[in-house]
């Protein structure tokens, strides 16, 4: 069989054409990244200065200030998320790789993959329901006295301490039959949702019957009231939830890659299984596990949605885990949509810092995934 030169030229042309198409597609993949970097540097780099990294946001309209609190806040949230996500994810991955029956593990894997696909804002809602709502703790007790003239009620908790609440006209009374302050029955069990004012006084937001449902209905209406229950802890939990399935699956994958022969060698030395896992298998897979953790951290570092009603944002430094905390994505969001040029400018700079942070995490991934397993023979 002979191959004509004409046919040969056609084949070469086809090969070249397909090569060009593939290269073009590959370039198309990294083009957005190049554009993003170009824009961020062009628009944001000029705003980067010492004050940006250390300062606090200035009040609306005035120029200057920085995102120091947001940068620290993001790092703090990442740390909190890791404290929650890494142990659960790693130990869960150990279970999947080393223990458990095929059936159960199949289900866990399936649900972990489903959780990986859950929109991040849903995780924010979960953390909100678990942490934000209970932390905006209402006052529970029985009505001791009603002072209609001063528009206040005195409530005594089961522990015995009493608290007075000013009831303003906006307060919702959700009580069987009672629509007026004066008709609140003394001695009835109540839940009082309240807000602390700057001067230390409290104003009730709603007075309702006790019950689980009220816990939710009362707070959903009350969401607009800032600073009630939003906390760094809630934000960290939301991000930690997102990390768990990611860390779980990568840990399982790298543990499965550890050759069976190491486990057998350790067991044949008379080591218990848990010791084999902790002292032999985990150290062998350590680089891979760290890679997975860094990848998960990179993923959650830029998350905005789950922080909206958990960490909430803060224009000041965060001093306590139970207080709202600033985060770069939140700060960028609020600055980007603000009508002030200086804030818009700083939003670009913040985005540049955030990209740099995720880039650093990716660089860490590259470093740790290099030579994950040394050659055995």
Q: Is 103 in the site for other proteins (CB under 8 A)?
A: no
Q: Is 371 in the site for other proteins (CB under 8 A)?
A: no
Residue from 79, 265, 337, 356 touching other proteins (CB under 8 A): that is: 265
Residue 56, helix vs strand vs coil: coil
Q: Is 314 in the site for other proteins (CB under 8 A)?
A: no
Q: Is 279 in the site for other proteins (CB under 8 A)?
A: yes
Closest CA to 253 of 358, 369, 360, 359: 369
Scanning residues 26 to 65, which ones bind other proteins (CB under 8 A)? none
- Closer by beta carbon to other proteins, 270 or else 339: 270
CB of 275 to other proteins, least distance (A): 5
**Residues whose CB is less than 8 angstroms from the CB of residue 362 and which lie 6 or more positions away in sequence, other chains included:** 294, 298
- Closer by beta carbon to other proteins, 55 or else 100: 100
Q: Is the dihedral of CA 111, 112, 118, 124 positive or negative?
A: positive
CB of 110 to other proteins, least distance (A): 20
Closest CA to 255 of 98, 362, 366: 98
- Closer by beta carbon to other proteins, 107 or else 373: 373
Cα(95)–Cα(89) distance, rounded to whole angstroms? 10
Q: Is the dihedral of CA 252, 119, 322, 71 positive or negative?
A: positive
- Closer by beta carbon to other proteins, 224 or else 375: 375
Residue from 275, 319, 320, 366 touching other proteins (CB under 8 A): that is: 275
Q: Rounded to 5 degrees, what angle do the CA atoms 90, 92, 97 make?
A: 90
Q: Is 375 in the site for other proteins (CB under 8 A)?
A: yes
Q: Is 256 in the site for other proteins (CB under 8 A)?
A: no
**Residues whose CB is less than 8 angstroms from the CB of residue 85 and which lie 6 or more positions away in sequence, other chains included:** 239, 240, 241, 242, 243, 244, 246, 247, 296
CB of 274 to other proteins, least distance (A): 11
- Closer by beta carbon to other proteins, 36 or else 278: 278
Cα(303)–Cα(197) distance, rounded to whole angstroms? 31
Cα(52)–Cα(49) distance, rounded to whole angstroms? 5
Q: Is 262 in the site for other proteins (CB under 8 A)?
A: yes
- Closer by beta carbon to other proteins, 87 or else 259: 259
Tokens representing residue 209 in the block: 């019957």
Helix then strand then coil, % of the chain, to nearest 5: 60, 10, 30
Structure-token match 């397993």, residue found: 373
Q: Is 6 exposed, middle or buried (0-12, 13-18, 19+ CB in 10 A)?
A: exposed
CB of 93 to other proteins, least distance (A): 18
Residue from 264, 316, 362, 367 touching other proteins (CB under 8 A): that is: 264
The span of 87-95, 225-233, 322-330, 367-375 binding other proteins (CB under 8 A) equals 367-375
Residue from 280, 301, 311, 349 touching other proteins (CB under 8 A): that is: 280
CB of 101 to other proteins, least distance (A): 8
Q: Is 267 in the site for other proteins (CB under 8 A)?
A: yes
Considering just the CA atoms, what is the radius of gyration of the chain in Å? 28
Binding site residues, other proteins, CB under 8 A: 259, 261-272, 275, 279-280, 283-284, 286, 373-377
């Amino acid at each position: 069989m002979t191959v004509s030169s004409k046919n040969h030229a056609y084949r070469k042309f086809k090969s070249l054409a397909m090569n060009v198409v593939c290269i073009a597609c590959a370039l198309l993949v990294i083009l957005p990244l190049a554009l993003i970097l170009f824009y961020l540097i062009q628009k944001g780099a000029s705003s980067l200065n010492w004050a940006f990294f250390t300062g606090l946001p200035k009040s609306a309209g005035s120029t200057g200030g920085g995102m120091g609190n947001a940068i620290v806040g993001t790092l703090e949230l990442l740390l909190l998320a890791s404290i929650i996500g890494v142990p659960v994810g790693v130990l869960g991955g150990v279970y999947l790789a080393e223990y458990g029956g095929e059936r159960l593990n199949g289900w866990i894997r399936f649900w972990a993959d489903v959780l990986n696909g859950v929109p991040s804002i849903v995780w924010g809602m979960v953390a909100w329901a678990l942490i934000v709502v209970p932390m905006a703790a209402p006052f529970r007790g029985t009505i001791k006295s009603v002072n209609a003239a001063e528009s206040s009620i005195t409530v005594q908790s089961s522990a015995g301490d009493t608290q007075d609440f000013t009831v303003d006209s906006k307060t919702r009374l959700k009580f069987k039959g009672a629509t007026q302050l004066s008709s609140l029955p003394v001695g009835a069990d109540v839940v009082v949702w309240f807000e602390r004012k700057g001067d230390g006084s409290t104003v009730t937001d709603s007075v309702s019957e006790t019950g689980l449902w009220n816990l939710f209905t009362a707070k959903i209406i009350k969401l607009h009231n800032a600073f009630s229950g939003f906390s760094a802890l809630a934000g960290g939990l939301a991000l930690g939830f997102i990390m768990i399935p990611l860390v779980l699956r990568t840990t399982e994958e790298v543990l499965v890659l550890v050759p069976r022969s190491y486990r057998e060698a350790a067991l044949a030395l008379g080591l218990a299984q848990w010791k084999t896992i902790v002292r032999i298998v985990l150290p062998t897979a350590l680089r891979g596990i760290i890679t997975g953790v860094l990848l998960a951290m990179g993923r959650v570092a830029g998350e905005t949605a789950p922080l909206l009603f958990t960490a909430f944002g803060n224009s000041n430094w965060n001093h306590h885990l139970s207080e709202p905390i600033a985060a770069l994505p939140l700060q960028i969001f609020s600055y980007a949509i603000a009508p002030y040029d200086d804030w818009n400018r700083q939003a670009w700079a913040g985005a540049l810092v955030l990209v740099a942070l995720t880039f650093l995490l990716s660089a860490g991934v590259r470093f740790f995934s290099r030579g994950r397993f040394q050659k055995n023979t």
